[in-house]
Amino acid sequence: AQTVTQSQPEMSVQEAETVTLSCTYDTSESDYYLFWYKQPPSRQMILVIRQEAYKQQNATENRFSVNFQKAAKSFSLKISDSQLGDAAMYFCAYRFNQGGKLIFGQGTELSVKP
């Protein structure tokens, strides 16, 4: 069975600084997707960034980028120039390419200090 692990329950970063959130996963599949979702107190899950496993190039979306290490089954999220609005719960998630369901990690609560 696939599993996703986030080992950092809480992280803190100073405004304008850079922070990295860690995620590891376990799967026997070779074709899958990985995602980072943001969940503010409003509960609305928002997609931050996605990575296709067959792509070697790390995905980037503005201030957000990932470090995808397929052999190590690691998928970390880097947030550059952190802003107060980045404060939220962040969830790492996995989805098998031929399946629909997302498998989520336990989440990392990010706080941003002004």
In 3D space, the residue among 54, 108, 45 whose CA is nearest the CA of residue 76 turns out to be 108
Report the residue number, 48 or 79, with the smaller CB distance to another protein: 48
What is the spatial distance between Cα 99 and Cα 16, in angstroms, rounded to a whole number? 38
The amino acid at 47: L
Report the residue number, 62 or 114, with the smaller CB distance to another protein: 62
Report the residue number, 30 or 42, with the smaller CB distance to another protein: 42
Write down the least CB distance from residue 76 to another protein, Å: 17
Paired strand residues for 65:
60, 78
Residues that bind another protein (CB under 8 A): 4, 6, 33, 42-47, 50, 52, 91, 93, 97-107
Write down the least CB distance from residue 91 to another protein, Å: 5
Write down the least CB distance from residue 19 to another protein, Å: 19
